[in-house]
Structure 1
Amino acid sequence: MITLSVCNGEVFVWNASDWLELRENHRIVGNLIGCLPSLPRQDSFRGLPLVLLPEEATLLIEKNIAKLVSYTSVSEQNAIKAKENFNAYKEKIKQEQIAYYEEERKKQVESMIDRIIEGKRRKFSSLKGKKDQDNSSGNKTELGIDREAILKGELEKASNIPMTNTLVQTFTGDVWSTDSVNDYVEWTFPKRKEEKLRYLTFKDLWEKGYYITSGQKFGGDFLVYPGDPVKFHAQFIVVCLDMQTKLTASDIITYGRLGSSTRKTVAIASLERNSSITYQSLSWAEMN
């Protein structure tokens, strides 16, 4: 069962495999809000965590696909032990990377030491001239160049790695606070009448096989896709309205223009007395 993390009333997915399973097997898209570890200063491509719509979270719970948990340590102040564990782990990762780098660097230097010495000899000759070459002893310290000293010096450079150059582990879950997991999270959505309408609409569309995302950026409640949003454009903009809501001429024109400008069909979803969802679509009629 997939674990969903609740924090401040929002539901998050931190595990990459859970994100993939939700999208591929359950048609749950959510919204990635994190940055990519390798490209933290851009916002064109997002990474984990994934934040879910309340409708998505409720559906997963109802279908017994996922469960909600919360971490009490997140709200605790001065979590000294967690900080100590993290710093110790970070130092361990650093030392492991330095040891690996030193070993690889040693292999590289040993394979190139003759070329390095030759390069230093040429540089020494150009600076000191022919006179210094004639006065050289002719042994391994010829021209002031010591093979072992150069090898040692090159290897010592491997230990001078700044902390900013080491790789950082990207965590996909709480590593040390497993003892503070709360499996009894109260989830009250949907509570209000309009929330019930939104959820039942979302559930009905999901059970029909669609992919659904938030439609806020288009002025609706949901965007409905025939397949994964990565591969398809949305076909419908769904607006959830109570059956008793009176639409003015201005409202109808607004929805008609919205569908026309976005090249999508605007569908108004309402709840019948038998708790079923009915849809009415709006589109411009061609005039001869």
Structure 2
Amino acid sequence: MADPPSRKIQLRVSNQKAYVWDVEDLAALRADHHICGVLTGTLPHLSQQNVFLGVPLLLLPEEAVLLVSKQLAVFVDDSTAHRTPAHEELVQWNAERTAHVAAQIAGAEAKDAEQRGAANRALSEDAVRKRRAREEKRAAAARAKAIAEGADPDSVVLVVPTPQERPDTPSASANANTVYTVTVPADSAAELPWYAPEAATYATLEDAKAAGVWTYPSTSFERAKCEVFRDLWEKGHFMGGGIKFGGDFLVYPGDPLRYHSHFVATVHESPVAKIRPMEIVAHGRLGTATKKAHLLCGWDEAKQEVSYYSIEWAGFG
């Protein structure tokens, strides 16, 4: 097992649930530690749907326990780490964001004006000549019309207007109709002056439980689930919630974005736990219907090891 990273992932705990807010941590969890979690946040511009979701990432309790026990992450009591900001701090924070947006708009306007000026200066002599030829043709047609209507030819003067180039700076109407894209700075929690996680960080499960921040696992069944999850994780599998398929976990051979799960895992507190025949039939039929094998996982507390039995439906006769 590789040495734990110097920078540990912060798991923000709220109501006994572990969340990850940093996008870089999300990428590291999936790419380096094959931990997926579930995105639960709405997107700013797509808030009226629940198909495409964003941060925070909600972790399974087994995932959180594994990360902390492997020294890959720490628990942060989110409610304690945040303090109520003073009014002056909020005013300053908002002023800095407004100034940042105003600077972006000013820079975009300057760039737009420069591009307009460059376009005007790039107006070729050929374009000017063609425009002047059109004006001469119109003036000649107007003179011929005046003479045809009986005007004195000597009194009709051919006037050709000089082609005018566009101004180098955008007009007021152009500015009014111009749309600029600006980026509103999204400060990370570490950059906020009213967020101080140092006093609310717990590096071990024991410390977090003693502080009342984290209580999982608290029963023999929960401990069995954590041990089965750890064993499958150490074998290189990706795991997800298996409630939709009648089990505790879905077991993937690789990233769920690329692979379908091969197993639905059900955890039992003991390798000699009693299972009703109807459960075996149900697991086998459901697994076959969803093109998976059902995995019965038993945790032996005395031997500190996990045993596995797979169920697949087979025809008879």
TM-score, L = length of structure 2: 0.71
The 5 A counterparts of 1:36-185 are 36=43, 42-72=49-79, 80=87, 83-113=90-120, 151-154=168-171, 157-158=174-175, 165-177=181-193, 179-181=195-197, 182-184=200-202, 185=208
1:270 counterpart (298, 302, 309):
298
In the alignment, the residues of structure 1 paired with residue 187 and residue 285 of structure 2 have an alpha-carbon distance, to the nearest angstrom, of 45
Of stretches 28-37 and 58-67 in structure 1, the one that deviates more from structure 2 is 28-37
Cα distance, 1:8–1:156 mapped onto 2, change above 3 Å: farther
Query: Structure 1 segments of 4 or more deviating over 6 A?
Result: 159-163
Gaps of 5+ in 2: 1-7, 132-137, 143-156, 203-207
**Contact 2:81 2:195 survives alignment (8 Å):** no
**Contact 1:35 1:43 survives alignment (8 Å):** yes
- Structure 1 residue identity aligned to 2:240: T
Question: Displacement of 1:108 after TM fit?
Answer: 2.0
Which of 1 and 2 has greater Rg? 2
Question: Displacement of 1:202 after TM fit?
Answer: 0.4
Question: Displacement of 1:219 after TM fit?
Answer: 2.1
- Match of residue 125 from structure 1: none
Cα distance, 1:273–1:175 mapped onto 2, change above 3 Å: closer
- Match of residue 31 from structure 1: 38
Residue 258 in structure 1 maps to residue 286 in structure 2: yes
In the alignment, the residues of structure 2 paired with residue 22 and residue 78 of structure 1 have an alpha-carbon distance, to the nearest angstrom, of 31
Question: Displacement of 1:255 after TM fit?
Answer: 0.8
In the alignment, the residues of structure 2 paired with residue 94 and residue 55 of structure 1 have an alpha-carbon distance, to the nearest angstrom, of 42
- Match of residue 21 from structure 1: 28
Cα distance, 1:23–1:156 mapped onto 2, change above 3 Å: same
TM-score, L = length of structure 1: 0.78
Cα distance, 1:82–1:45 mapped onto 2, change above 3 Å: farther
- Match of residue 13 from structure 2: 6
Aligned length: 271
Deviation string 1:6-36 (CA, Å, 9 cap, x unpaired) is 2222111122222222212211111122345
- Structure 1 residue identity aligned to 2:94: N
* Counterpart secondary structure, 2:289: helix
In the alignment, the residues of structure 2 paired with residue 267 and residue 58 of structure 1 have an alpha-carbon distance, to the nearest angstrom, of 22
Question: Displacement of 1:172 after TM fit?
Answer: 4.5
Question: Displacement of 1:198 after TM fit?
Answer: 0.9
- Structure 2 residue identity aligned to 1:229: P
Gaps of 5+ in 1: 123-128
**Contact 1:212 1:223 survives alignment (8 Å):** yes
Residue 246 in structure 1 maps to residue 274 in structure 2: yes
* Counterpart secondary structure, 1:278: strand
Residue 226 in structure 1 maps to residue 253 in structure 2: yes
Residue 280 in structure 1 maps to residue 298 in structure 2: no
Identity %: 32
* Counterpart secondary structure, 2:96: helix
User: Aligned-residue CA RMSD in angstroms?
Assistant: 3.5
Cα distance, 1:227–1:146 mapped onto 2, change above 3 Å: closer
In the alignment, the residues of structure 1 paired with residue 231 and residue 105 of structure 2 have an alpha-carbon distance, to the nearest angstrom, of 55
Question: Displacement of 1:38 after TM fit?
Answer: 6.2
In the alignment, the residues of structure 2 paired with residue 2 and residue 35 of structure 1 have an alpha-carbon distance, to the nearest angstrom, of 22
